[in-house]
Structure 1
């Protein structure tokens, strides 16, 4: 979720909480004001009733509530002295024009007592509180509309005001995503007067400069190390070949020289594999283009056909899709070649290799030992099952490194006496 959307989410929740608390406080304040105003009216109504009773004694006989909303009851002196003015909320049954029968309605009531001509009377005066329900409905509606208006205002501010404020940040982030090590380009830069964005830009560019310098140093070291290793290995191989060609060697001497030449050849392959692995991990392969992987598989099968024939291994290919994918062509060949070579060299006489290409995966299965390989170690460097001297132990590690580079999913399984390696390609 983007930062702007997150701010909307948190602001919406915060404003909802604030408005809810405000609405509750406002409601009780308004209710107290209304009840205070009604109580003042009841007090005034009480004085008018007592004044009218002094002039018309028939009022003293009204002992039930009607449209005049008051009732009187004669009491003794002790009861009258014990009664103090009391205001409270209660319910009276009233019938409006649209009601079939009386219905309970909320009222505010005053109970008091007074003395007139030596007689004591209890007076109950009521005033309708129907306005309270209307107040709650109006307050709820106003609160909802206030909340909606504030959210619309926040969204507007986020998209038209804050978005402009954050524009330098998103421009800088877009440039940073496109930045690649090993390619001559200017560091990301945007025009802004915001101090935080300027500090971020300076810190990131300083880090990029240091990373670029380290990357170039490492790249130069790898190239130099590879060259310095390849040269003496090639010289040693040439001298040994000349020594063998000159003859005059005993059988045991010739065997020793052949063994040394094998070791040198192995060191050469190991050096090349380590160099390739380091380049992959440093992302030095950037020539990405659309590659039809079924053609890459066909070419590698054709190249390895003589080796497979020499090993008495049959290769069967099943294609159901072209499997196009955007990647470096040389790395595509490395992945397929390493898996096919692994399937051929670690096979058995008269064995088989089955290659299947689907719309989103390549599956290479081969006969071999009846023992399942260790899934946790098979893609690690220099892992050799049963300490076999074959290979450098880096072939599958290179496959794993390329898979990680392009977000492939490479896996191993042992099904029906077949060692199966599968590469699943992410769908676009």
Structure 2
């Protein structure tokens, strides 16, 4: 409201200043003409000095009176304009505040304050219809995503099972065997993408609200043991610095998903004979792996924009969404030929 009101007041003040500057010489010439008329009518002749003094007196008097009455008029207009504008625009800014506070994930419609101003009442009606339709479309989209992911798991599992049976056939040629292996790998990747999409849908649906005290130190040690096979595959050198007894209050499923995706990403995209750093302090988790060049930080956490090899392109997107759901923060940096991921939880 202040920006709109100040813009109007600035224009009003500029206009008033122009009128004031133009009115002073006009008043001067009018008063001078009237004075000269009175002098001529009464046959009064003024000396040159007296004429200059009268002209100076007229100018000063006209200026003072013009400024005085113009100032009083402007002050009155400004105060009146502020009061009227505040009352007239209040419904608009009430609606604007409610729109700013609106969260689509909370499934709550916005109750706009009734107003007798026709334009704002019409605006509120259209906003209410727009928000209601957006909530409905959002709920349908989330329900479809979750249902589709659930329904796809069964046929994907059947396909994988049938392909595994085909691979056990003895009369397959080497070409057929290779084709089935490639198809099996594609089905496996599709199944992972489907599970990841389902996880993202559940995160978006706020299905992980339950919280508990989690020992991060113990959880990280357990996950490192589960993912240790990748370490030997590439002869990766592991460096750890885990502060003991670091605990947080959060949802265990989300924290496990976050760490699993970060660990698997660091193992999968590490180089041969690379290094892997895992560090935990009372406020931050740091996971770093060797690399050759920096990644595009603007695209890194977006879905399907960082697919490499057998990855799904959803791991870091899940990391980002999980951190947002936990109200944590994640940051990427490339330093000393290493990809660093910093997750701050305090």
Question: For the superposition of Structure 1 and Structure 2, which TM-score range results when normalised by the shorter chain?
Answer: 0.7 to 0.9
Question: Is 2:213 the partner of 1:307?
Answer: no
SS at match of 2:51: strand
Change (3 A) 1:182 1:346: closer
Q: Which has the higher strand share?
A: 1
CA distance in 2, matches of 1:153, 1:188: 31
Kindly indicate whether the alpha-carbon contact (under 8 Å) linking 2:146 and 2:201 is maintained by their aligned counterparts in 1: no
Query: Conserved in 1, the CA contact under 8 Å of 2:152 and 2:194?
Result: yes
Q: Distance in 2 between matches of 1:305 and 1:354?
A: 9
- Deviation per residue, 1:381-413 (Å, 9 max, x gap): 16344xx33x32321233345567879563341
Does structure 2 retain, via aligned residues, the 8 Å contact 1:382–1:392?
Answer: no
Render the CA deviation track for 1:7-29: whole Å, top value 9, x for unaligned.
32122212212322332344234
Which of structures 1 and 2 has the bigger CA Rg?
A: 1
Residue 353 in 1 paired to residue 277 in 2?
yes
Deviation at 1:218, TM superposition (A): 2.0
Distance 1:216 1:308, change over 3 A: closer
Using structure 1 for the length normalisation, give the TM-score: 0.61
In the alignment, is the contact (CA less than 8 A) between 1:290 and 1:324 conserved in 2? Answer: no
In 2, are the aligned partners of 1:366 and 1:420 still within 8 Å (CA)?
Answer: yes
| SS at structure 1 position matched to 2:293 | coil
3-state SS in 2 of match to 1:352: strand
Match of 1:394 among 306, 314, 328: 314
1:51-81 CA deviation, whole Å, 9 max, x = no partner?
Answer: xxxxxxxxxxxxxxxxxx54xxxxxxxxxxx
Give yes or no for the alignment of 1:317 onto 2:241. yes
What's the RMSD between the two structures over aligned residues?
Answer: 4.4
- The reply to whether residue 365 of structure 1 matches residue 288 of structure 2 is yes
2:28 is the counterpart of 1:31: yes
1:108 to 48, 51, 55: 51
Q: Assess if the C-alpha contact under 8 Å between 1:187 and 1:205 holds in 2.
A: yes
Comparing 4-13 with 23-32, which one deviates more in the overlay?
Answer: 23-32
Matches within 5 A, 1:40-189: 40-44=37-41, 46=43, 70=47, 92=49, 107-108=50-51, 129-159=56-86, 162=87, 165-181=88-104, 185-186=108-109, 188-189=111-112
Distance in 1, Cα, partners of 2:9 & 2:26: 25
Q: Secondary structure at the match of 1:375?
A: coil
Partner of 1:411: 332
Structure 2: runs of 5 or more not aligned:
none
Tell me if the contact between 1:366 and 1:419 (Cα under 8 Å) persists in the aligned partners: yes
Quick one: distance in 2 between partners of 1:183 and 1:13?
Answer: 42
Give the unaligned 5+ runs of structure 1.
50-68, 71-89, 93-106, 110-125
Partner of 1:122: none
> What is the DSSP-based 3-state SS (H/G/I as helix, E as strand, rest coil) of the residue aligned with 1:190?
coil
Q: Bigger relative contact order, structure 1 or 2, given CA contacts below 8 A and separation 6+?
A: 2
Tell me: CA distance 1:409–1:17, structure 2 relative to 1, closer, same or farther (3 Å): farther
TM-score, normalisation: structure 2? 0.72
